[in-house]
Structure 1
């Protein structure tokens, strides 16, 4: 049985999928399996791509074909159900790892007690475009290098862990259930809050994962869910927060819903205050310049 099950969700993005397979192939750790969930994409084209993959990778790849798209979190759940490893990671088809991700993260979680359900590493943004089937990198910048630990309260304020950077115990799903398939986006954020309500996530303070971003106008095929659907994210955030708070009200207690809504609103107020203070500082500087001019 493989130690790590790597779930790759994809749909008609073969150039990105090929890179994600290379990302796994280059790992300095080889006790893994790959489960590709083709969520409504061209099945023959994907199967043809796999014939070009080195045998050392291909023989450890299984593919689940969905004739029609069932959604990103239904696809994730299909991979979770098929996984044989005791450790899971969602490696989306457009993201990538540094070659030390798996050896470092597996060693890190092995040092932790069962109360720690996952380990997350620092991640960097990689800005890129896809032109005529070729990926062109535009630049690299920090994503979550400010993170020093992972707490439920901070996670409730915003999702700062992309799936590519989290290795977690498959047994967590026995306690928490699967990802919420009815959510079009942010199923990871919802799952992380539920996870942190019962377990810990430890931070590995090294940049070992790449979160690739393409322009908002890249279209449905090559767009990121965040870049291409900001309004959708905002609406789903409200839906998740409302669902959690309604659970608290139904149970007549202060719980995750109260904590999540407080944390989210405090973050909104803090960011709004920062913008206001910044605007006042700029105004004061303009007035000083005019006074001295």
Structure 2
């Protein structure tokens, strides 16, 4: 099978999500592609059932690679790339999706920019809730990295802000810089992006989102996203990658030569400084919020006191209106001793 694009789909025991992913791929307006599903030690019958349910045109484009023993999600990509050698490739995991124009726009870009090692599109995060049957309900959407207007090695050294679902890669460049590192448990896409950007420019289609990165509100590792279920691994693998490049730099014969490791070390210091500034900023906001709450409570109490005083004044006014002779009574009480004395004199 030969086509312009290889679409690698990594999956394991998630038939509902795989069905959605194949629907996303099948809806592409660009149709010169083949699909390699890497079933990483999952239920073969489930995968076959999902594939058989697709229309004939899409089924003809699909081949399934099954790992008898799980190789892990990062190594699974290379299993798919070994089965296909087309000009471009994309990673469409079973839990993500594309706009119907994704392949058309990204293929056109790489065709028009032969110097680019890849291209990425604007991406939207879709937060969703998993139902009991494995299907998902959308909760909300948020465009990812709205302050970014392209891909640069400088920004990528700080953190990975381009998920695989939003990229189309030129295969010959990936072969040259090396594919994903299957020894990593996470962050292999970031490590690859570093090497890709160190070798070649990567384009960016700065329009509405053409890729959709789905996040689920579950800690179940079989259904959730690794950035949530394996957050600690993301942190550790990030440092492991930085350490590896730094060691490579230190092992060079000419320590003064520029190297990715030194740049990554600087970027990590920047990242930690930024996190600390964010933490301090968050603390200041929390303190200001507390002051704000205290002021609101004080104002509320003052308003209540004013309200009570107004009620007391109103009650006194009403009492005066209900007793118009109150002043006369007071005067009468004041003159009572004089009248009593007069009566006594008369009796005498």
TM-score range, shorter chain: over 0.9
Task: Report the alpha carbon displacement of residue 290 of structure 1 after superposing the two structures with TM.
Answer: 6.6
Aligned length: 291
Of the structure 1 ranges 220-229 and 264-273, higher mean CA displacement relative to structure 2 is found in: 264-273
Secondary structure of the residue that 1:62 maps to in structure 2? Answer: strand
Deviation readout 1:204-239 (Å, 9 max, x if unpaired): 11210000001242x121011111111110011110
Q: How does 1:89-168 map to 2 (within 5 A)?
A: 89-114=90-115, 116-133=116-133, 134-168=135-169
Range with greater deviation from structure 2 (234-243 or 105-114)? 105-114
Q: Which has the higher strand share?
A: 1
- The 1:51–1:273 alpha-carbon spacing in structure 2 relative to 1, beyond 3 Å, is same
Q: Which residue of 2 aligns with 1:279?
A: 283
Cα pair 1:157 1:265 within 8 Å, conserved: no
What is residue 274 of structure 2 aligned with on the other side?
A: 270
Structure 1 segment 213-224 matched on structure 2, within 5 A: 213-217=215-219, 219-224=220-225
Deviation at 1:288, TM superposition (A): 8.2
**Larger displacement relative to structure 2 (275-284 or 129-138):** 275-284
Aligned counterparts of 1:6 and 1:33: Cα–Cα separation in 2? 6
Which residues in structure 2 correspond to 1:193-204 (within 5 Å)? 193-204=194-205
Paired residues of 1:39 and 1:75 also in contact (CA < 8 A) = yes
Runs (4+) of structure 1 exceeding 2 A deviation are 277-293
Tell me if structure 1 keeps the 8 A contact 2:109–2:119.
Answer: yes
CA offset at residue 74 of structure 1? 1.6
* Contact 1:156 1:261 (8 Å CA) reproduced: no
Rg bigger for which structure?
A: 2
Cα distance change on mapping 1:223 and 1:289 into 2, 3 Å: closer
In the alignment, the residues of structure 2 paired with residue 84 and residue 54 of structure 1 have an alpha-carbon distance, to the nearest angstrom, of 24
User: Secondary structure, in 3 states, of the residue corresponding to 2:258?
Assistant: coil
Secondary structure, aligned partner of 2:29: coil
Higher mean C-alpha displacement, 181-190 vs 251-260: 251-260
Higher relative contact order (CA 8 A, sep 6+): 1
- Cα distance change of structure 1 residues 59 and 269 upon mapping to structure 2, 3 Å threshold: same
Cα distance change of structure 1 residues 284 and 75 upon mapping to structure 2, 3 Å threshold: closer
Relative to its length, the structure with more helix (as a share) is 2
Match of 2:262 in 1: 258
When residues 288 and 130 of structure 1 are mapped into structure 2, their CA distance, relative to the original with a 3 A threshold, is closer
Could you state the TM-score of these two structures normalised by the residue count of structure 2? 0.80
Structure 2 equivalent of residue 15 of structure 1 = 16
Could you tell me how far apart the structure 2 residues matched to 1:122 and 1:92 are? 17
Summarize the Cα distance change of 1:277–1:5 in structure 2 as closer, same or farther, 3 Å threshold.
Answer: same
What secondary structure sits across from 2:161 in the alignment? coil
Task: Tell me the alpha carbon deviations over residues 104-144 of structure 1, each in whole angstroms, 9 at most, x when there is no partner.
Answer: 11111112132x10000111111112212232111111222
Provide the C-alpha distance between the structure 2 equivalents of 1:289 and 1:214, rounded to a whole number of angstroms: 33
Secondary structure of 2:270's match?
Answer: helix
Q: State the Cα RMSD in Å.
A: 1.8
Displacement after TM superposition at 1:46 (Å): 0.9
Instruction: Point out the more displaced range, 38-47 or 128-137.
Output: 128-137
How much does 1:284 deviate?
A: 5.5
